[in-house]
A = this chain, B = another copy of it.
Amino acid sequence: MPPTSRTVPLDRLESLLAAAFERAGLTATDAATGAEVLSTTDAWGVFTHGSKALRGYLARLLAGGLRPRGRPRISAEGPSWALVDGDSSLGMVTSVFAIDVAMEKARKTGMAYAGVHNSCHFGAAGYYATHAARQGLIALSMANDIPSVASPGSRGAITGSNPFAYAVPAGRHRPLMLDMSIATVAGGKVYAARERGEPIPPGWLIAADGTPTDDPALYPEHATLTPAAGHKGYGLGLMIEALAGALTGAAMTWQVRSWMAGDLSRPTGHGAAFVAIDAGTIHPDLPARVEALIDEVHAAPRADGVDRLYVPGEMEWQRYDRARRSGVELPPDVVHSLREAAALVGLDLGDYGLGDEEGRP
């Protein structure tokens, strides 16, 4: 019987994730970091990058491609920059370490860059930018990945889908937050459509001959994501390769390994980059000015049938508040994936309200 969607309290989901990471060998602190990132991502409704990824991370932690007791460390630094060696730790652990380094330096000099090498898939880029914005800093967050996105005129993949996020403090509003892939859509959405057995809209993928396809099953072996807005998405993808790959010493393009497939015992080599800007020092009115900007958007004329003009991140924060209040409704593919993840580390999901319909653990 296929799983249905299940609603689970957010703190229960977070406990489940922490317990699973601890069973895979992480310290309680690192497990809590991973759990906080993935549960927040689910609460935002970004299910492609939340706890659905637990299965893949656990498999790699158990096989050694991720080191459960890895310790990210600064490998080189200056007043406003650092390179961070992720030591093949969980991407969330290394990324929180790195954004914290960037924030600490930015508080001293105004802004700072932290480039990460020897990392892995870091989940939702927006989490790390938001982590800084909640503490009053503006932040950018980005990462490279295995090639999956075409360039204008190419037959196959040229860059990764290379997530890019920013967050900006916004006074009485939640931080402005954009979390985007440079692809027309993130690969996770193609996988999700495949798992749901649904076709995808034309324009998301090109097949191996360069023509559009609506078959998600071709991806990633025989199809390639298109870049968002053509040369613009492609160009941003190469910027991210430069900042998160070339400048950090990380693996790039075809040297990056898939975090989901292939030899799970080997590191993936992903890179990431974080920039923090100490808005409070540079221009203390920043949050008030962004608050006013958001108010202006909310008051702007809307097209017929449109109830509200949203600013980036606003829908995610609304879902987050609802999830905190009433639990997070995990889609069937996430429930399925969590059950497989739990089985990898012998965790009883019944303890977390996620046992299967027949009451099996």
Contacts and interface: CB of A to CB of B under 8 A. Distances in A.
A225 interface: no
Interface stretch (A32-40, A187-195, A297-305, A336-344): A297-305
A59 interface: no
B115 A309 contact: no
B81 A154 contact: no
A320 B108 CA distance: 41
B80 A109 contact: yes
A253 interface: yes
Interface string A251-287: 0111000000000000000000001011101110110
A176 to B, nearest CB: 6
Interface stretch (A21-29, A288-296, A324-332): A288-296
A16 interface: no
Contacts of A277: 81, 113, 243, 247
B111 A81 contact: yes
Interface string A85-120: 000000000000000000000101111110100000
A283 B83 contact: yes
Interface string A207-250: 00110000000000000000011011111101101110111110
A184 B245 CA distance: 28
A113 B248 CA distance: 20
Contacts of A283: 83, 115, 246-249
A180 interface: yes
A168 interface: yes
A151 B110 CA distance: 31
A11 to B, nearest CB: 30
A110 B78 contact: yes
B246 A281 contact: no
Shortest beta-carbon contacts, A-B, top 4: A81-B110, A178-B235, A210-B303, A80-B109
9 contacts: A79-B110, A81-B109, A138-B247, A153-B302, A158-B297, A166-B242, A176-B239, A242-B290, A242-B293
Given A79-B109, A83-B282, A229-B233, 16 more contacts: A76-B282, A79-B80, A79-B108, A80-B106, A113-B277, A115-B282, A115-B283, A153-B309, A155-B302, A178-B235, A178-B238, A184-B229, A242-B290, A247-B283, A248-B283, A254-B296
